Amino acid sequence: MIVVRILGWNSHRAWTNGSGHERTDLVWRLGRLSNLDRREIKRLARRILDQEHDEIQLDKAQDRFAAESLRSFLESLGAAAVVEDV
């Protein structure tokens, strides 16, 4: 399984604040990469954008490329994140 770990947040490095389409985009990305139902995905997205969650398990990610895409998206929001195989 592949996991994206959020190590911290730096709002000065973010180029967006997550108040627009980013929440919808994050929900879509999490839906493609995890086995959570829609309500749990929305809850997880809210917790991530509120900087309250630090680990995202990607059950359906078939390779690191998909996980790296999510990591890159999170970095645009100011997250310092890494992709790990567990």
> What is the spatial distance between Cα 64 and Cα 83, in angstroms, rounded to a whole number?
8
Which pLDDT score is estimated for 39?
96
Helix axes 64-76, 22-33, angle to 10 degrees: 160
Q: Which domain holds residue 81?
A: 2-85
Token readout for 75 is 């970095």
What single-letter amino acid sits at 36?
L
Each residue's pLDDT tens digit, 14-24: 666 666 788 89
Each residue's pLDDT tens digit, 3-57: 999 999 987 776 666 667 888 999 999 999 999 999 999 999 999 989 899 999 9
Backbone angles phi, psi at 59, to 5 degrees: -65, -35
Token readout for 16 is 């967006």
Domain count, the chain: 1
